[in-house]
Amino acid sequence: MGTPTLAIIGGTGLDALVDIKLDKREIIITPFGEPSGPVTRGNLFGQEVLFLPRHGYSHSIAPHLINYRANIWALRDAGADSILAVAAVGGIRSDMGPGQVVIPDQIIDYSWGRKSTFFDGTYETRDSKVTHIDFTHPYSNALRQRLFNAASAAKIDVVDGGTYAATQGPRLETAAEITRLERDGCHLVGMTGMPEASLARELELHYACCAVVANWAAGKTDGIITMEEIETNLTGGMQQVSELIKALMSA
């Protein structure tokens, strides 16, 4: 295992880090199968960084088919001690409109059928006792604070806090489902937040989410949601994320 370092998981709109000085790409086979692709190791603004696009380098893996266990395990094996997860989401709360960057502090899991724990009787955990992680605060406060400091240095407007609703996908939600999520106290909706966050906690990795609002959630506007709209909003939002990552790595 190499020197502990930051890993970045790219979501929709961030399939590569354009400023990275590539060292190598490592194919890591884990006890839980293959991750979404080779782990990219390189130098980003003077710091070692790892990168893995959760949907694959060709963006071909649907949210419910991602091997989350293999992804988190591979990044840990590659030397990561912290993971910054970038994700495209829908905005529910009024201050979380398209293009806004949000650093959530809570999550509710509505996904199902995903392999969501390393403690399932396989590999090195097969003889261990049932393990219950504390998940009161699902994101690392230390890593979130680093993100806020970086945002301040880069003069990027980010929303501090919010509850991420992790849905199954790959379809978008109905207006009624968004109304339900809003009643539940959710402010953002995405498809990849879980079990990624809890798996990172099981491996004792710092984990935080940098969410980019790609569209208003269903029913929040009169029109329908189009991929053209999502792509347009992500262009500006991911540019802000790139500046945020630059400030984070330069700190």
The domain spans of the chain are 5-120+135-250
Which pLDDT belongs to residue 51?
94
Span 5-120+135-250: which CATH code? 3.40.50.1580
Report the pLDDT value the prediction gives residue 14, as an integer from 0 to 100: 74
In this structure, what token pair is assigned to residue 6? 């930051």
Q: Are strands 21-26 and 39-44 parallel, antiparallel or unpaired?
A: antiparallel
What's this model's pTM, rounded to 2 decimal places? 0.92
What is the model's pLDDT at position 70? Answer: 97
Residue 116, burial from CB neighbour count under 10 angstroms (0-12, 13-18, 19+): middle
Task: At 207, list the tokens.
Answer: 């984990």
- Residue 238, pLDDT score: 86
Looking at residue 2, its pLDDT comes to: 46
Residue 170 vs residues 47, 61, 135, 177, 216: alpha-carbon distances, Å: 35, 10, 26, 14, 17
The residues, ordered by sequence, that sit 6+ positions from 158 with a Cβ below 8 Å of its Cβ are 101, 102, 103, 147, 148, 151, 244
Which residues, 6+ apart, have CB-to-CB distance to 5 below 8 Å?
A: 47, 48, 49, 50, 79, 80, 81, 82
One pLDDT digit (tens) per residue for the chain, 251 residues:
445 489 999 877 676 676 778 888 999 999 999 999 999 999 988 889 999 999 988 889 999 999 999 999 999 999 999 999 999 999 999 999 999 999 999 999 999 999 999 987 766 555 567 788 999 999 999 999 999 999 999 999 999 999 999 999 999 999 999 999 999 999 999 999 999 999 999 999 999 999 999 999 999 998 888 888 888 888 888 889 999 999 999 87
